[in-house]
Chain A
Amino acid sequence: MTTRAVKSTNHERRLHPLPVRIMHWINALAIFIMVGSGWKIYDDDVILGWLHFPDSLVIGKWAQYGLQWHFFGMWIFVLNGIAYLTYGIATGRFRKKLFPISIRELLTTVSDALRFKLGHDDLTHYNAVQKILYLGVMTVGILIVISGLALWKPVQFSELANLFGSFQTIRVVHFLCMAAIVGFLVVHISLALLVPQSLVAMVNGGPTVDDGAPPEVNPTH
Chain B
Amino acid sequence: MLRTPTPSFFRPRKAVDQRVLTQNRTLVHDINRRNVLRGAISLGALSMLTGCDVSEDNSVQKVLRTVSAWNDRVQETIFRPNHLAPTYSVAEVVKPPRFNAYYDIEDVKPIDGGTWTLGLAGRIENKQPWTAQQIYALPEQEIIIKHICVEGWDYVGQWSGPNLRDFLQRVGADLTAKYVYFICNDDYTESIDMATALHPQTILATKYAGDRLADPFGYPMRLRTSTKLGYKNAKWIRAIEVTNDFRETFWSKQGFNWFAGI
Contacts and interface: CB of A to CB of B under 8 A. Distances in A.
B171 interface: no
Contacts of A75: 67
A156 B262 contact: yes
Contacts of B149: 45
A41 B65 CA distance: 17
A152 B255 CA distance: 17
A41 B152 contact: yes
A56 B48 contact: yes
B133 interface: no
B109 to A, nearest CB: 25
Interface string B1-25: 1101011111001001000000000
A36 B40 CA distance: 13
A7 interface: no
B71 A32 contact: no
A42 interface: yes
Contacts of A155: 83, 85-86, 226-227, 261-262
A49 to B, nearest CB: 5
Contacts of A156: 78-80, 83, 227, 261-262
Interface string A76-88: 0000000000000
Interface stretch (A61-69, A104-112, A135-143): A61-69
A36 B79 CA distance: 29
B154 interface: yes
Contacts of B56: 61, 65
Contact of B255 (A43, A44, A65, A154): A65
A62 B7 CA distance: 6
A44 B56 CA distance: 19
Contact of A64 (B80, B148, B256, B262): B256
Given A62-B7, A65-B55, A155-B85, A71 B67 contact: yes
A57 interface: yes
A63 B68 CA distance: 14
A158 interface: yes
A89 B163 CA distance: 51
B56 to A, nearest CB: 7
B150 A52 contact: no
Contacts, number: 124
A144 interface: no
A46 B2 contact: yes
A44 to B, nearest CB: 4
Q: How large is the interface on A (under 10, 10 to 19, 20 to 34, 35 or more residues)?
A: 35 or more
B64 interface: yes
B86 A33 contact: no
Interface string B67-86: 11001000100111001011
B7 A61 contact: yes
B151 interface: yes
A120 to B, nearest CB: 27
B257 A61 contact: no
A72 interface: yes
Contacts of B48: 56-57
A21 interface: no
A33 B42 CA distance: 11
Given A55-B51, A61-B53, A62-B7, A49 B2 contact: yes
Nearest to A40: B6
6 contacts: A42-B152, A61-B7, A62-B9, A63-B150, A68-B68, A154-B262
For the complex of A and B, the 5 pairs showing the least CB-CB separation, nearest first, are: A65-B55, A45-B152, A61-B53, A64-B255, A68-B64
Given A64-B256, A68-B255, 12 more contacts: A29-B39, A29-B40, A41-B152, A42-B152, A52-B6, A55-B6, A61-B52, A62-B9, A62-B53, A63-B7, A65-B64, A156-B78
Interface of A: 29, 32-33, 36, 40-46, 49, 52, 55-65, 67-69, 71-72, 75, 152-156, 158, 162, 167-168, 171
